[in-house]
Amino acid sequence: MQDKFDKYARQDAFTGSTREEWEAWKETSRETLKDLLGWKYMESCDLDPRVEEVVELENGIRQEKVIIQVEPEVYMPMYILIPPKQSEEKQKCFLALPGHQGAGKFSVAGRDDIPAVKRMIEFYHYDYGMQLAKRGYVAICPDCRGFGERRDEALQKGTDEKSFLTSTCFHLAHMAEPLGETVAGMCTWDASRLIDYVYERGEWDTDDLGVVGFSGGGMQTLWISALDDRVKKCIISGYLYGYRDALLLLNGNCSCNYVPHLWEHFDMGDIASLIAPRPLAVQSCRDDHLNGPRGLVNVTEQLDIVRKAYSLYGKEEYPIHDVREGDHCWHEEVLDIALPRL
């Protein structure tokens, strides 16, 4: 398989040298990626938003539970954390997308009143939605498909903590891929519907809309930021590395990472380069096993691809690369480093 990868991978990487060539490549590459993700099967509909619950938290943050319709009869619940307004200007806003093992929105939104979630927050520092809200940002923390309240039937039945924390994205991948769909495609679609909702609601500053995610949330941040220019800045943590090391040599990752035929066309750095020239911060942990056997080398090689795209715009300051010690984990410090520069 490694030989095949070397023979067939990355046939549509950018080979030009000017900004004009790159912008033409960007347009065709986005279309290729949407095809690979299976977007032609996604159906739009009214968002039909409903506020189900409002809780004023002790820290002064308002926690709304909202549900929107992302496809006909497909619903996405979320927590929206709204800090007190500090001025008359529209509040700045981040989508905070969840990764594995955190029960979707529950960890990201900081629901540490649930013991299993509290442990995951302590282990992965998983409550980056709440961390943003405490810094004055509106943080929108959804369940992506297969997570939290969107787990499929197979794992909804269990009442144990493991069933609650885990996800059914691999079940979903098995059903989706023979139909030409992908989990990454569905999650990216849902993130785009979430942006539709932010626009429709009209309360927050869409000129400054950010997206952040750790691990599988980093994967979703990568895809939606690459494909949707309404994303104005993004932070990807624990998910930017070359496919050969991270998803081929390491081949035990969840099925939701895999997009059929993707590697023939692009490596991850090619996808991330579509975020240029918008502000991008990447956080990596030096001993993150998901980087693969070559460690950070597998990250910096991809960032070099990304950096070339930014250099065409004279934006050498991006991507910001925040390297932390230890294994796979979100580190809040990236917010203090990146937010003033994004």
Nearer to Zn ion, 155 or 254 (CB): 254
Q: Does 169 bind Zn ion (CB under 5 A)?
A: yes
Q: Does 254 bind Zn ion (CB under 5 A)?
A: yes
Q: Does 256 bind Zn ion (CB under 5 A)?
A: yes
Backbone angles phi, psi at 320, to 5 degrees: -70, 130
Q: Does 37 bind Zn ion (CB under 5 A)?
A: no
Of the ranges 13-21, 51-59, 174-182, 246-254, which one interacts with Zn ion (CB under 5 A)? 246-254
DSSP for 110-154, please give it: T-TTSHHHHHHHHHH---HHHHHHHTT-EEEEEPPTTSGGG--HH
Q: Does 272 bind Zn ion (CB under 5 A)?
A: no
Shortest Å distance, C-beta 257 to Zn ion: 7
Cα distance between residue 291 and residue 297, in whole Å: 8
Nearer to Zn ion, 32 or 163 (CB): 163
Of the ranges 69-77, 156-164, 250-258, 294-302, which one interacts with Zn ion (CB under 5 A)? 250-258
Cα distance between residue 192 and residue 25, in whole Å: 22
Cα distance between residue 28 and residue 274, in whole Å: 11
The footprint of Zn ion on residues 300-329 (CB under 5 A) is none
Of the ranges 70-78, 187-195, 234-242, 256-264, which one interacts with Zn ion (CB under 5 A)? 256-264
Q: The tokens of 94 are what? A: 């981040």
Cβ atoms 106, 96 nearer than 8 A? no
Q: Is 141 exposed, middle or buried (0-12, 13-18, 19+ CB in 10 A)?
A: buried
Nearer to Zn ion, 163 or 206 (CB): 163
Shortest Å distance, C-beta 282 to Zn ion: 21
Cα distance between residue 326 and residue 320, in whole Å: 19
Total residues binding Zn ion (CB under 5 A): 3
Q: Does 155 bind Zn ion (CB under 5 A)?
A: no
Of the ranges 19-27, 130-138, 154-162, 163-171, which one interacts with Zn ion (CB under 5 A)? 163-171
Interacting residue ranges for Zn ion, rule: CB under 5 A: 169, 254, 256
